[in-house]
Amino acid sequence: MPVPLLTSMHTASDVARPLVTIGDRALSAGELLSAATAVADEIAGARAVAIDARADLETVVATVGCLLAGVAAVPVPPDAGVFERRHILTDSGAELWLGEKPSDIGLPGFRVDVSARSSAAYPEPEPSTPALIVYTSGTTGAPKGVVLSRRAVAAGVDGVAEAWQWTPDDVLVHGLPLFHVHGLVLGVLGALRVGSPLVHTVRPAPDRYAAAGGSLYFGVPTVWSRVCADPASARALAGARLLVSGSAPLPVPVFEELTTLTGKAPIERYGMTETVITISTRFDGERRPGWVGLPVSGVRTRARSESGEEVAHDGETLGRLEIGGDTLFDGYLNNLAKTAEVMTPDGWFRTGDIAMIDPAGFHRIVGRESVDMIKSGGYRIGAGEVEQALLAHPAIREAAVVGVPDADLGQRIVAYVVGETPNPGEVIDFVAGALSVHKRPREIRVVEALPRNAMGKVRKQALLDDAR
Ligand code: MCA
Ligand code: AMP
């Protein structure tokens, strides 16, 4: 029989020690296992179930219940607007809703009870079984369901655990959302697989990180930049073993300030929803500002030129980054065409990121191939999805969305619209009603016409220049 995915949760030597703390509530390994087994009892036999993925213990119990029963978990952002939620539920084929049910959801619901207990035993599913379907934005259209197998989750966690010397003696702290790979796969399933207690701070606020007293901290660059802006909180992290940044480029000044304030150079690692975490600096290795390090064990990388040749590992030639190995997803759900677009014939995943590799194998991510893939606060946002939501507004005739460089968020969403003088505040709320909060434009600029090339395509670079 395969080894359990959440190995350490089953073998915890002290079953009474708090294993997962979220805010002021905690569960030991024993409590989590039996509450999650009670969820498994309710959902066994389903193909996929949706989880109202709030930052709470119920989300953890529901996800672990799915993994025990071998049912694919579909985390739904708690602030997803009606369009986005409807798409996720329809596309995933979720058969049940775990959590408090909004009135527009027709699925049968089941409210997770963290104090429920069951001792039923479930055989460990095969490693190829889907563990999660995580929805993530492309450059155009609605979000795509990324199918992650148990094998990919295990490989993604094991690679970084080895690089970071992450053990049950660590206490992991973060406050990231529980509906993306960073917070949920690495930040919850990672802790449960390694067996290191997790303290989730509900929101990733600097003072909450400072008060948590952990040894290993996860954050997106916006979090680390806010930590630096609060020097007392930053200094309180000096006793931690590792501060890890990922999901977007960590600006060099933030790397340096964090190093000065905490006495520790952060670890930077690179990942994607479709590949889990693949490249990282190491606990026992060099931490170079602006560089994300070496492929973790089990991961292969290559950077190729437009003509398909692998570029020289000279630390300056740029190539399109591709990833191979066990951490790769199984494809986009119900979307063979999009899956075929991102996979090479020889089984590598095209990340869409541009990278350089130095002679020692160190990687530097220099940007994305497409201006339509935006990263704001570590969230991936497709310009096309926001443009579609804007075009549904009765006063808007044309819309173009760009990611403008922003010191706090990395990029901030600015929307250019043509229409009958729409009210910007009302348009922002309109988008928030359809999509998740972080997909709302921060700013709406009403213009007479969008700049277009001879083919009629919007010249986004001109908009970026204007916004800057
Ligand atoms: C936001 N607000 C707005 C607007 N946008 N109000 C009006 N108009 C808008 N356009 C509101 C928010 O709801 C919030 O309100 C307040 O303004 C502050 O928002 P914001 O500046 O966004 O700050 P924040 O809410 O504190 O968020 C920053 C954050 C967040 C905490 C860093 O962006 C975050 O959690 N990011 C993590 C993303 C992540 O986990 N990505 C991983 C993807 P109020 O205060 O009332 O709520 S996985 C991945 O990338 C791969 C696998 C990898 O490598 O990890
Ligand atoms: P997502 O699918 O939300 O997981 O976003 C994945 C994307 O985030 C990658 O394709 C990169 O563009 C970006 N990303 C993640 N980690 C890093 C990093 N350490 N440095 C630069 N970009 C990153």
| Domains of the chain with CATH codes | 7-203 (3.40.50.12780), 267-368 (2.30.38.10), 373-467 (3.30.300.30)
Percentage, residues of the chain above pLDDT 90: 91
Least confident interval from 215-219, 270-274, 325-329, 419-423: 419-423
Query: Which atom of ligand 1 is nearest to 182's Cα?
Result: 55
Ligand closest in space to the Cα of 321 = 2
Q: What is the pLDDT of residue 101?
A: 87
Report the nearest-CA residue for atom 12 of ligand 1. 437
Ligand 1 contacts CB of residue 223 (under 6 A): yes
Query: For 158-184, how does the pLDDT look when each residue is reduced to its tens digit (9 = 90+)?
Result: 999 999 999 999 999 999 999 999 999
Q: Distance from the CA of 365 to the center of ligand 1, in angstroms?
A: 22
Where residue 352 falls (left for φ over 0; alpha for ψ -120 to 50; beta otherwise) is left
The mean per-residue pLDDT over the stretch 338-349 comes to 97
Percentage, residues of the chain above pLDDT 70: 100
Q: Where are the beta strands (DSSP E) in 7-54?
A: 18-22, 25-28, 48-52
Query: For 60-105, how does the pLDDT look when each residue is reduced to its tens digit (9 = 90+)?
Result: 999 999 999 999 999 999 999 888 999 999 999 999 999 988 888 8
Q: Residue 31 — very low, low, confident or very high, per pLDDT cuts 50/70/90? A: very high
Ligand 1 contacts CB of residue 375 (under 6 A): no
Q: Distance from the CA of 89 to the center of ligand 1, in angstroms?
A: 23
Q: Distance from the CA of 234 to the center of ligand 2, in angstroms?
A: 24
Q: Distance from the CA of 418 to the center of ligand 2, in angstroms?
A: 31
Query: For 380-428, how does the pLDDT look when each residue is reduced to its tens digit (9 = 90+)?
Result: 999 999 999 999 999 999 999 999 999 999 999 999 999 987 799 999 9
Contact (Cβ atoms closer than 8 angstroms) between residue 54 and residue 99:
yes
Least confident interval from 3-17, 45-59, 354-368: 3-17
Ligand 2 contacts CB of residue 349 (under 6 A): no
b/e 401-428 (16+ beta carbons within 10 angstroms → b): bbbbeeeebbbbbbbbbebeebeeeebb
Does the pLDDT of residue 151 top 90, yes or no? yes
Report the nearest-CA residue for atom 55 of ligand 1. 247
Ligand 1 contacts CB of residue 271 (under 6 A): yes
Provide the H-helix boundaries in 319-400. Answer: 336-342, 383-391
Give the number of other CB atoms < 10 A from CB of residue 181. 28
Please state the separation of Cα 221 from the chain's center in Å. 13
Type and span of the H or E element at 90: helix 82-92
Distance (Å, rounded) from C-alpha 40 to C-alpha 45? 9
Report the nearest-CA residue for atom 52 of ligand 1. 272
Does the pLDDT of residue 461 top 90, yes or no? yes
Does the pLDDT of residue 233 top 80, yes or no? yes
Q: What letter would DSSP give residue 174? A: E
Query: For 178-221, how does the pLDDT look when each residue is reduced to its tens digit (9 = 90+)?
Result: 999 999 999 999 999 999 999 999 999 999 999 999 999 999 99
Q: Where are the beta strands (DSSP E) in 273-389?
A: 276-280, 294-295, 299-304, 319-325, 349-357, 363-368, 373-376, 379-382
Grouping H, G, I as helix, E, B as strand and the rest as coil, residue 89 is: helix
List the structure tokens of 16: 């009474």
Grouping H, G, I as helix, E, B as strand and the rest as coil, residue 120 is: coil
Distance (Å, rounded) from C-alpha 213 to C-alpha 25? 16
Give the number of other CB atoms < 10 A from CB of residue 124. 17
User: In degrees rounded to 5, what are phi and psi of residue 458?
Assistant: -65, 135
Mean pLDDT estimate for the chain: 96
Ligand 1 contacts CB of residue 445 (under 6 A): no
Tell me the best of 365, 381, 411 to mutate to test the pocket of ligand 2, counting ligand atoms within 8 Å of each CB and taking the most.
365
- Cα 261 to Cα 208, 226, 286, 377, 437: the distances in Å are 17, 13, 19, 22, 32
CA gyration radius, the chain: 22
Q: Distance from the CA of 268 to the center of ligand 2, in angstroms?
A: 11
Tell me the best of 437, 439, 440, 444 to mutate to test the pocket of ligand 1, counting ligand atoms within 8 Å of each CB and taking the most.
437
The angle, 0 to 180 degrees and rounded to 10, between the axes of the packed helices 82-92 and 424-434 is 20
Ligand 2 contacts CB of residue 292 (under 6 A): yes
Q: What letter would DSSP give residue 343? A: B
Q: What is the pLDDT of residue 9?
A: 78
Does the pLDDT of residue 13 top 80, yes or no? no
- Sheet containing 349-357: order of strands: 299-304, 319-325, 349-357, 363-368
Least confident interval from 8-12, 86-90, 265-269, 368-372: 8-12
Beta bridge partners of 270: 279
Ligand 2 contacts CB of residue 186 (under 6 A): no
Q: Distance from the CA of 223 to the center of ligand 1, in angstroms?
A: 10
Q: Distance from the CA of 203 to the center of ligand 1, in angstroms?
A: 10
Does the pLDDT of residue 12 top 90, yes or no? no
| Residue of 164, 129, 162 whose CA lies nearest to 147 | 129
Ligand 2 contacts CB of residue 171 (under 6 A): no
Report the nearest-CA residue for atom 34 of ligand 1. 377
Q: What is the pLDDT of residue 416?
A: 97
Contact (Cβ atoms closer than 8 angstroms) between residue 311 and residue 318:
yes
Q: Where are the beta strands (DSSP E) in 8-84?
A: 18-22, 25-28, 48-52, 72-76
Distance (Å, rounded) from C-alpha 115 to C-alpha 38? 9
Distance (Å, rounded) from C-alpha 179 to C-alpha 50? 11
